[in-house]
Structure 1
Amino acid sequence: MRTPYQIIKDHYAASDRGDLDGMLADLAPDAAWTEMDGFPCRGTHVGREAIVREVFQRLGAEFDGYTFRLERLLDAGSSVVGIGDYSGTFKATGKSFHARVTHVWDVRDGKIVRFEQFTDTLRVADCMR
């Protein structure tokens, strides 16, 4: 059985490939995905369909070149912390942004059950105005 660290590492590798199915492969059906207040897809989204619709599809529709670049991945047992950078260009304004970000993941029984994002939402909001 893969460790929580390997599961999240595999998620990020799928993200780098643009492989949404790979990103979702280890997501529990009732996973809770929380984006910070002030972020375009803020709130807690529960379940794969809601996460895809409210997070991934929305970011893809509203931003050009939206990316996450992983800098460090920290193993904390059943929790894993990813630290890196977001960047992209908001389509409606043509403005770009760059923001540091931390992701906190919880894995139980080989499935991702919780994700929480911490980022500088002001940098993102500035590109949207």
Structure 2
Amino acid sequence: MKTTPEHNDRIAKMTFSSVYPHYVTKVEKKGRTKEELQQVIEWLTGFDEDKVKELIAEKVTFETFFQRAKLNPNAHLITGVICGYRIEEIENTLTQQVRYLDKLVDELAKGRKMEKVLRAG
């Protein structure tokens, strides 16, 4: 399934602060912790907890969020389907990066071992 320019634009303009509480709820509902979520975000983006709080307070868009991120060199190992899209086939870089984060949160919530989520082995 291909993403449309409208879909990509909508994702770019979405604020990280509007989605973050949903990530927290999703992982906590499945018995994982906010700390584990932070570990996943830091692995993907390089943002520590203070930086994440700062970006939330600043109400940055996903576009700005990922422009400031230092994407993990192993992020390309994140594959599979999320929201009906095969991650490795998404052509828009920003949309793909947002889906990387969605997929990691999803895997965390599904109880996957942290080393698997973080593509460590």
TM-score normalized with structure 1 length: 0.29
Higher-Rg structure is 1
TM-score normalized with structure 2 length: 0.30
Which is richer in strand? Answer: 1
